[in-house]
C-alpha cells in the first residue's frame, strides 16, 4: 500500500495517516514529525530547520529531500509501502518523489486529498491545544496561506496521473477513516 496524503494543516492527516498505516501494516512517514524530532535532537541540521518550522515556512526542498529520500526508499523496499504525510509539498518535491519512485520501481497508488474550509481548519488548529509552537493563530494562518500557494497546485499534478481521491475532511474522524478505508481496501486487495 503506497499512499500520499495531501491536506492543509488541521485536516487530520496525522490522525488518518496513523490509522491507514496500522490498517495496512505500512509505516506512517510524516515529514513534520521527522523535522520536529530533528529540531529536538539539537543536531546542526535540526538547528537549520528550527526557524522554518517556527515561522510556518516551508523547509527548503534540498533539506526536505535529504531527510525524506532514504526513508521512503527503505519503506518501499522493506515494509511493502508507506503512508506519506506532508511530503511532497511542492512541485519540485513531487517531481523528485516521482523520480525516487521510478528508481525504486514503485509509485504511489493513491493520493488522498483531504478537504475542509479554512474556517474549519482554523477552528480545529486553535482547538487542538497540543502545544505545537506553530499552532498560534498567526502562524497557523500563514501555514494555510503557504499550503494554498505551494501545495494545493500539486492536486493538478496528481490529478493528471489519475490517482487523486477527494475526501471531505470536515466530518468526524471515524467518518473520514471509513471513507478512506472504503477507497483503499479494494486497492489493497489488488
- Is residue 132 part of the annotated active site? The answer reads yes
Q: Which of 132, 141, 166, 171 is catalytic?
A: 132
- Is residue 50 part of the annotated active site? The answer reads no
Minimum Å distance from CB 165 to ligand ADP? 18
Q: Which of 77, 128, 149, 161 is catalytic?
A: 128
Minimum Å distance from CB 190 to ligand ADP? 29
Q: Which of 2, 13, 36, 124 is catalytic?
A: 13
Binding site for ligand ADP (CB under 6 A): 9, 31-32, 35, 52-53, 56-59, 64, 86-87, 89, 93, 134, 143
- Is residue 189 part of the annotated active site? The answer reads no
Helix axis angle for 137-146 and 44-55, nearest 10°, is 100
C-alpha cell at 179: 471513507
DSSP 60: P
Helices (H), 79-190: 91-104, 118-128, 137-146, 154-159, 173-189
Q: Is 28 exposed, middle or buried (0-12, 13-18, 19+ CB in 10 A)?
A: buried
Active-site residue set: 13, 89, 128, 132, 143
Amino acid at each position: 500500500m503506497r499512499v500520499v496524503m495531501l491536506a492543509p494543516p488541521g485536516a487530520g492527516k496525522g490522525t488518518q495517516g496513523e490509522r491507514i498505516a496500522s490498517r495496512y501494516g505500512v509505516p506512517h512517514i510524516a515529514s513534520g514529525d521527522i523535522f520536529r524530532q530533528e529540531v529536538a535532537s539539537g543536531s546542526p541540521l535540526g538547528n537549520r530547520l528550527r526557524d522554518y518550522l517556527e515561522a510556518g515556512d516551508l523547509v527548503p526542498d534540498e533539506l526536505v529531500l535529504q531527510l525524506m529520500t532514504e526513508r521512503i526508499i527503505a519503506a518501499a523496499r522493506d515494509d511493502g509501502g508507506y503512508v506519506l504525510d506532508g511530503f511532497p509539498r511542492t512541485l519540485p518535491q513531487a517531481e523528485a518523489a516521482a523520480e525516487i519512485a521510478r528508481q525504486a520501481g514503485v509509485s504511489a497508488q493513491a493520493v488522498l486529498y483531504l478537504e475542509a474550509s479554512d474556517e474549519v481548519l482554523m477552528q480545529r488548529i486553535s482547538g487542538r491545544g497540543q502545544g505545537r509552537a506553530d499552532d498560534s493563530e498567526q502562524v497557523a494562518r500563514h501555514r494555510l496561506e503557504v499550503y494554498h500557494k505551494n501545495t494545493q497546485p500539486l492536486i493538478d499534478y496528481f490529478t493528471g496521473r489519475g490517482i487523486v481521491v477527494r475526501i471531505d475532511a470536515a466530518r468526524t474522524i471515524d467518518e473520514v477513516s471509513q471513507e478512506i478505508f472504503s477507497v483503499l481496501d479494494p486497492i489493497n486487495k489488488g
